[in-house]
């Protein structure tokens, strides 16, 4: 069987800052959610005022 030289240990790699990664991902998801809401609002306003 092949050996994996770069396998991540069960507890995660010690050099990685996992809490920071999780905060960054949560911020990205939050930004994406609000950006989609803003786009929908703009589209609704365009439909109301331009049609």
Residue 14 binned pLDDT confidence (cut-offs 50, 70, 90): confident
Instruction: Give the separation between CA 45 and CA 38, rounded to whole angstroms.
Output: 11
Residue 47 three-state SS: helix
Res. 12 pLDDT band, cuts 50 70 90: confident
**Mean pLDDT across 28-40:** 98
């Amino acid at each position: 069987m092949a050996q994996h030289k770069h396998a991540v240990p069960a507890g995660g790699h010690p050099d990685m800052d996992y809490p920071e990664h999780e905060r960054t991902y949560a911020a990205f998801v939050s930004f994406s959610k609000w950006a989609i809401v803003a786009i929908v609002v703009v589209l609704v306003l365009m439909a109301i005022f331009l049609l």
